[in-house]
């Protein structure tokens, strides 16, 4: 009985969650940035020696970043400056070109890292380091100051 119920309710929960995120650009982009951070934790963990180098996991994380780079541009439409608690700075809308440039820098760094196909910790360091700089490069001007 429980199993049956769970098989109905759980997918429903999932759909509701996704639909909510899909219809609200603020929630959608925060979801996306959380995935982006989870991927950063995987790679950061390897770089800091907290977890062993794993080429496959590193590539999977790079692909998550690639998805962010591809989708993020559409997730800051006009009118989504407020509504939910958001850390997006008004500069995204007053200086759209600057923001788009930061996104392009990020995408280019991710593409280069993917192309490098890092097969060692050293190689991953060289490939992912520039990407982390571009996260910071965008957050500095376009995201309200936060500790993470």
Site of interaction with ligand HEC (CB under 6 A): 26, 29-30, 33-34, 36-37, 40, 65, 86-88, 99, 102-103, 106, 131, 134-135, 138-139, 142-143, 148
Shortest Cβ 85–ligand HEC spacing (Å): 7
Choice between 6 and 63, CB closer to ligand HEC:
63
Burial grade of 45 (CB within 10 A; 0-12, 13-18, 19 or more): middle
Least separation, in Å, of the C-beta of 141 and ligand HEC? 9
How far apart (Å, rounded) are the C-alpha atoms in residues 89 and 145?
A: 9
Using the minimum distance from each CB to ligand HEC, give the nearer residue, 4 or 136.
Answer: 136
* Residue among 11 and 129 whose Cβ is closer to ligand HEC: 129
**Taking phi first (over 0 means left), then psi (-120 to 50 degrees means alpha), and beta for anything else, what does residue 40 get?**
alpha
Cα dihedral 103, 109, 114, 118 in deg (nearest 10): -150
Torsion of CA 95, 98, 100, 101, to 10 degrees: 170
| Minimum gap (Å) between residue 12 Cβ and ligand HEC | 24
Identity of the residue, 6 or 74, whose beta carbon is nearer to ligand HEC in the bound complex: 74
At a CB cut-off of 8 Å and minimum separation 6, what does 57 contact?
42, 46
Min CB(7)–ligand HEC separation in Å: 30
């Amino acid at each position: 009985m429980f199993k049956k119920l769970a098989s109905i309710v759980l997918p429903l929960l999932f759909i509701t969650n996704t639909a909510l995120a899909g219809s609200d650009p603020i929630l959608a982009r925060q979801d996306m940035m959380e995935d982006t951070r989870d991927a950063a934790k995987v790679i950061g963990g390897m770089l800091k020696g907290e977890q062993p180098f794993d080429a496959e996991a590193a590539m999977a994380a790079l692909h998550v970043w690639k998805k962010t780079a591809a989708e993020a541009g559409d997730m800051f439409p006009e009118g989504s400056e407020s509504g939910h608690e958001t850390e997006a700075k008004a500069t995204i809308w007053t200086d759209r070109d600057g923001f788009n440039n930061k996104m392009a820098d990020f995408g280019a760094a991710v593409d280069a890292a993917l192309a490098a196909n890092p097969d060692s910790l050293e190689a991953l360091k060289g490939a992912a380091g520039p990407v982390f700089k571009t996260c910071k490069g965008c957050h500095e001007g376009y995201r309200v100051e936060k500790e993470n």
